[in-house]
Amino acid sequence: MSRAVYVSGSLMDSEYTDVLTQDGLSSIRHLDQRQDLHLATSIRSFRAESVSAFVKALLDGAENSARQLLGRVLSTFPVLLTRNLQSAKRWLRQKARGTERYGIIASSEAQRLKPFGLNVKTEIDPVNWFLSGKTDIRSSYYLEDVATEFQIQGLELDWTCVAWDGDLRFHQGRWEYHCFRGTRWQTIGQDANQKYLKNAYRVLLTRARQGMVIFVPEGCTRDHTRRREYYDHTYDYLKSLGIPELNAQQSHASAALRRVGDAPR
């Protein structure tokens, strides 16, 4: 007796599967692809229906599409860009209301965030990180311990800071993939491992319910593991998509307050 296999038509997209899996699906004799089987909208993210599509376009290098989608996203879901970690932390604290939860997340390969006090190799207790209160140094609220894609996958925070290291770099119109081993970055050559790293960032960029700030370090000329070019091209790419700069917004706000202070009383 022959049986039909029903799948979402989007399952054939490279975002969800690899070449071998695609070949396997294609070889099924009675494969019925139905788009209505695709769960396109997160039921948990009440303000961010277009965020996943924006993130996909961003990571696929589809710049025009990413710009258009971002325009729709920003009206209900703030996305900001900064090179100052303290500014990012301050923004998280200012945005959160009541028990809304915030925290810093990063790729498990982001090993050169250590100069900023973000060590992805430090084990966290997920229970304390996700559930403990603002006075608990182990909680996400304290903005000291960073969660990786492993701890955050399938879970969400209200507000996130995504710390972007030199493992995934945008250069000359495409992504370059790296892992840190010993004392230097090494190039990731295998397609499967490249896809794994890109999907790690896909997870990180879709963990916020209400908004996120992306922190891309400045780089350091004295540190060969944190050269400026490892970060500058990525920052420029994200900025070119129309993501507003946090520091610029803060400068405008400060200028407005100064004008109010200078006004006649």
Write the DSSP assignment of 97-108 as a string of letters. -TT--EEEEE-T
Residue 52 falls within a domain, yes or no?
Answer: no
Q: Residue 216 above 50 pLDDT?
A: yes
Q: Which domain holds residue 246?
A: 67-253
CB-count burial class (<10 Å; 0-12, 13-18, 19+) for 4: exposed
CA 193 → CA 118, 170, 178, distances in Å?
A: 23, 17, 10
- CB neighbours of 141 closer than 8 A, spacing ≥ 6? 101, 102, 103, 132, 133, 134
Residue 12 falls within a domain, yes or no?
Answer: yes
pLDDT digits (tens, 9 = 90+) for 61-74: 999 999 999 999 99
Average pLDDT value over all residues in the chain:
87
- State how far the Cα of 226 lies from the Cα of 184, in Å rounded to an integer: 10
pLDDT at position 31: 75
pLDDT digits (tens, 9 = 90+) for 89-121: 999 999 999 999 999 999 999 999 999 999 999
Q: Which two tokens stand for residue 58?
A: 């961003």
- 235 and 160 in a single domain? The answer is yes
Q: Provide the Cα torsion 145, 146, 152, 158; round to 10°.
A: 80
How many other CB atoms are there within 10 angstroms of residue 172's CB atom?
Answer: 6
User: Residue range 147-173: average pLDDT?
Assistant: 96
pLDDT digits (tens, 9 = 90+) for 194-215: 999 999 999 999 999 999 999 9
If we measure between CA atoms, which residue out of 76, 93, 243 comes closest to residue 170?
Answer: 243
Residue 55 falls within a domain, yes or no?
Answer: no
- 92 and 196 in a single domain? The answer is yes
Domain count of the chain? Answer: 2
User: Residue range 1-5: average pLDDT?
Assistant: 66
- 152 and 197 in a single domain? The answer is yes
- 191 and 75 in a single domain? The answer is yes
- 121 and 242 in a single domain? The answer is yes
Decide: 134 and 141 in contact? Cβ < 8 Å: yes
User: Residue range 179-189: average pLDDT?
Assistant: 97
If we measure between CA atoms, which residue out of 73, 47, 46 comes closest to residue 58?
Answer: 73
- 240 and 124 in a single domain? The answer is yes
Residue 61 falls within a domain, yes or no?
Answer: no
Decide: 182 and 159 in contact? Cβ < 8 Å: no
- 198 and 81 in a single domain? The answer is yes
- 161 and 227 in a single domain? The answer is yes
Decide: 246 and 184 in contact? Cβ < 8 Å: no
User: Residue range 240-261: average pLDDT?
Assistant: 65
- 33 and 74 in a single domain? The answer is no
- CB neighbours of 143 closer than 8 A, spacing ≥ 6? 89, 92, 102, 103, 104, 161
pLDDT at position 27: 67
- State how far the Cα of 110 lies from the Cα of 118, in Å rounded to an integer: 9
- 111 and 165 in a single domain? The answer is yes
Residue 201 falls within a domain, yes or no?
Answer: yes
Residue 51 falls within a domain, yes or no?
Answer: no
Residue 194 falls within a domain, yes or no?
Answer: yes
- 249 and 151 in a single domain? The answer is yes
pLDDT at position 32: 77
% of the chain residues with pLDDT over 70: 80
